[in-house]
Amino acid sequence: MFDARLEQLTLDANAAVRNTAHFISQEFGKVDAGQIEEKFLNGLVSYVDRTAEEMLVESLHKLLPEAAFITEEDTVAQEDAELKWIIDPLDGTTNFLYGVPHFSISVGLQQGDDLVLGIVHHVPNNELFYAWKNGGAWCDGKAIRVSQRANMRQALVGTGFPYHNFAHADAWFNALRTFMEQGRGLRRMGSAALDLANVACGRLDVFFEYGLSSWDVAGGAVLVKEAGGKVCDFSAGLDFIDKKELLACSAAVYDAAWRIIDDAFNAPR
């Protein structure tokens, strides 16, 4: 049964991610302005993203030859299959290129409609977060859990600013204001994958963002679920990948966080 292989597959994939993280670390601070491209508004890329993706694809294909790939940089054919790896080789590229030490690698494995494996590596901190279905969530060999802070007044909230899709900016600002008024504080750090890892280990209580791609959230969503948290789209469903919107939080503050999102994004105007 495939599920019985998930733990070992995760550990093997961890090694591939660590190897890629070593390459990214070596290139930090070395990319010249002439080596940077703008794929779309505020969407930057360099040879580091592409090489890192190629390294991950090669290693993960050896581990699971039957799996297809969905990747940010399109260095491999994008195919649909029962099993597919969903990869962001460098989440937080702008941070990386501007010398801000907050960026990550994100890897998820999807079986059908079910995300079954997730890895997020905080490259500058050399922290490796990983989880597999029904196996719990881990950071560098230690089990992690979402925060047990009991209410929104104690909650630290993470988000991502809209940077090229401003269609729902007004709703986002409304949600931000309410979280600001009701919560302990707000953080915008520039890597959705790491924000989800931080929810999983209890550093953040809530994370919300829209305009996300599958590779931004596939790995981190598994971490949050396996750490005892909640992940949903802005309609309280599970279609957060296709809808490109996500709320992730501890179980303790889910009801309060969901009311804020629902009022901002779904209430009649």
pLDDT tens by residue, 171-200:
999 999 999 999 999 999 999 999 999 999
The predicted model scores a pTM of 0.94
Report the distance separating Cα 193 and Cα 214, nearest Å.
11
Tell me how far CA of residue 69 lies from CA of 40, 107, 208, in angstroms: 22, 11, 26
CA dihedral for 51, 53, 55, 58, sign (positive or negative) = negative
Q: What is the pLDDT of residues 198-240, one digit of tens each?
A: 999 999 999 999 999 999 999 999 999 999 999 999 999 999 9
Report the distance separating Cα 191 and Cα 105, nearest Å.
10
State phi, psi for 260 to the nearest 5 degrees: -65, -45
Give the pair of three-digit tokens for residue 202: 């209890």
Report the distance separating Cα 12 and Cα 29, nearest Å.
29
Give the pair of three-digit tokens for residue 220: 């981190």
Under 8 Å between Cβ of 130 and 219: no
What pLDDT is attached to residue 204? 98
DSSP designation for 208:
E
What pLDDT is attached to residue 168? 86
Check whether domain 2-143 has CATH 3.30.540.10, yes or no: yes
Q: Where in the chain is the domain with CATH 3.40.190.80?
A: 152-265
**CATH top-level class for 152-265?**
alpha beta
What is the percent of the chain where pLDDT is above 70?
96
DSSP designation for 99:
T
What pLDDT is attached to residue 178? 97
Q: Is the pLDDT of residue 1 over 50?
A: no
Q: Whose CA is closest to 135, among 143, 147, 123?
A: 143
- Mean pLDDT across 65-78: 90
What 3-state DSSP class applies to 180? helix
What pLDDT is attached to residue 35? 83
Under 8 Å between Cβ of 233 and 245: yes
Strand spans (E) along 51-205: 68-71, 83-91, 104-111, 114-122, 127-132, 137-139, 142-143, 156-159, 185-187
What 3-state DSSP class applies to 96? helix
DSSP designation for 171:
H
Q: Whose CA is closest to 67, among 19, 111, 129?
A: 111
Report the distance separating Cα 71 and Cα 216, nearest Å.
10
Under 8 Å between Cβ of 97 and 46: yes
